[in-house]
Amino acid sequence: MSDRLFEELLEETKRLFNEKYGGAPQVVVAAPGRVNLIGEHTDYNGGFVFPMAIERCTIIAASPTTASSATIFSNNMNATSDFILKGDVTPSNEVDWTSYVQGAISFSIKKGAKVPGFNAVINSNVPLGGGLSSSASLEVAVATLMEELGGVSFGKVEKALMCQQVEHVFAKMTCGIMDQFISTLAEKDYAMLLDCRSQKPEMIPFVDPSVSVLITNSNVKHQLTGSEYPERRSCCEEAARILGVSLLRDVSLDALLASKERLVGADNGDLLFKRAFHAVSEDVRTLKTAEALKVGDWETVGAQMYASHDSLRDNYEVSCPEIDALVEIARGIGMNGGVIGSRITGGGFGGCTVSLVKTDKVDEITQILKKEYKRLVGKDATIFSTRPAQGARVL
């Protein structure tokens, strides 16, 4: 199924390239979106995340030209734009798809890529604004293309960090490192336990064919460039400052509970405590989940996923009623009905849930989720299953 989707996307991209510019592209690259199994809003606290790449990606087909700029058609936006091939480009105040592309081009050139003029087509089947890192897949795909056209290799970690800077500077979104790391470093059949402080990934096999990853899009678009994400981030930073550490990662759950009075006594103290409690307890859940997944202890994995969701809903307050409804439907189906666990995934405020389900029950569960979501929320959910996919690559 997924191979077919990928082949279709690839063929369409090549056909569009031929239509727009004539001939076949000389270079084709792909970079995946991601789903985070657990470890939400922990990356910018130096904590642990546990994402995997999904079988949905951004493909770019390109050929060098003798022009002094780049011309790129985005099939998703149905728009063509010209891009400046310089390292020092002032980011535009308005953020749209061109911001990510121009950012990745400029940062790559600054990093030494000798990029010639080129024509390209961008085509993605990562749902936009669905919390599956469509933007990281775009940045990483462009950076991978720049390596190829510009005759350099940045190294995977360097490339991920560079793309994070693109997001900060050009998209004005102060994200952590999770999305760019997984889009760059992912390996087929592995989830990645990433220690965001040391930036050292541990690849953990996720191959049990009896368990599938089901992604359910609430079709509530999330928008993270607003004030909510930076507000959560600064709460955590403020809590860390009061507790005398540079990152919340450095506080154990016991130490946090022992220092509760100190936090609660500060301005906005109850809120700071709730936010910090989420970040610190989420690290514990993430490590437990990774250990449980290694030994196939699905009950523990599921319990951690639900606990993560509850904390994101109540302590971190980044869920929304539609997403809560999807998680409750899944929880209601339960282990006997084939659902191991379910939670919101990504930055929040809409987007998708991730559920681990028994493979032989995927169709049944999909039907129930769709029907009940429609009944309770009045919206259509879009659902697909995926296996852990490969990171950015040249095709």
CA dist 282 → 191, 193, 249, 342 (Å): 17, 13, 10, 15
- Spatial strand order in the sheet of 27-36: 79-84, 69-74, 117-124, 51-65, 27-36, 393-394
Distance between CA atoms of 202 and 111, rounded to whole angstroms? Answer: 27
Q: Which stretch binds ligand GLA (CB under 6 A): 142-150, 176-184, 304-312, 328-336?
A: 176-184
Q: How far apart are CA 108 and CA 115, in angstroms?
A: 9
Taking the least distance from each CB to ligand GLA, the nearer of 122 and 312 is 312
Of the pair 9, 178, the CB lying nearest ligand GLA is at 178
Beta bridge partners of residue 60, listed in sequence order: 29, 122
Which residue of 6, 21, 44, 384 would you call a contact of ligand GLA, by CB under 6 A?
44
Q: How far is CA 48 from the centre of its chain?
A: 14
Select which of 43, 179, 283, 324 is catalytic. Answer: 179
Q: How far is the CB of 176 from ligand GLA (least distance, A)?
A: 3
CB 52 to ligand GLA: min, Å: 14
What track of x and - describes contact with ligand GLA for positions 331 through 350 (by CB under 6 A)? ---------------xx---
Concatenating the DSSP letter of every residue in 78-115 gives TEEEEEE--S--PPPSS-SHHHHHHHHHHHHHHTT--P
Q: How many CA atoms, within 13 angstroms, populate the side-chain half-sphere of residue 328?
A: 12
- From the list 85-93, 171-179, 202-210, 357-365, the region that binds ligand GLA by CB under 6 A is 171-179
347 or 350: CB nearest ligand GLA: 347
- Residue 175 touches ligand GLA, criterion: CB under 6 A: yes
For ligand GLA, give the closer residue by CB, 85 or 175. Answer: 175
Does residue 324 belong to the site contacting ligand GLA (CB under 6 A)?
Answer: no
Smallest gap, in angstroms, from Cβ of residue 313 to ligand GLA? 14
Residue 274 or 358: which CB sits closer to ligand GLA? 274
Site for ligand GLA contains 178 (CB under 6 A): yes
| Residues 6+ positions from 379 with CB-CB distance below 8 Å | 218, 219, 220, 322, 373
- Find how far residue 333's CA is from the centre of its chain: 27
Site for ligand GLA in 70-129 (CB under 6 A): none
> Does position 40 bind ligand GLA by CB under 6 A?
yes
Nearer to ligand GLA, 178 or 271 (CB): 178
Site pattern 243..282 for ligand GLA (x: CB under 6 A): ----------------------------------------
Let me know if 195 is a catalytic residue.
Answer: no
Task: Report the nearest approach of ligand GLA to the CB of residue 45 (Å).
Answer: 9
- Among the candidate windows 150-158, 170-178, 365-373, 377-385, which touches ligand GLA by CB under 6 A? 170-178
Between strands 69-74 and 79-84, the pairing is antiparallel
43 binds ligand GLA (CB under 6 A): yes
Sheet of strand 48-49, all strands in order from the earlier edge strand to the far edge? 48-49, 190-195, 200-205
**C-alpha–C-alpha distance, residues 115 and 96, integer Å:** 22
Q: What is the distance in angstroms between the CA of the first residue and the CA of the last residue of the chain?
A: 19
DSSP string, 301-363: HHHHHHHHHHHHHHTS----HHHHHHHHHHHHHTGGGTEEEEEEESS-SSSEEEEEEEGGGHH
Interface residues toward ligand GLA, by CB under 6 A: 40-41, 43-44, 175-176, 178-179, 346-347
Would you name the residues annotated as active-site residues?
Answer: 179
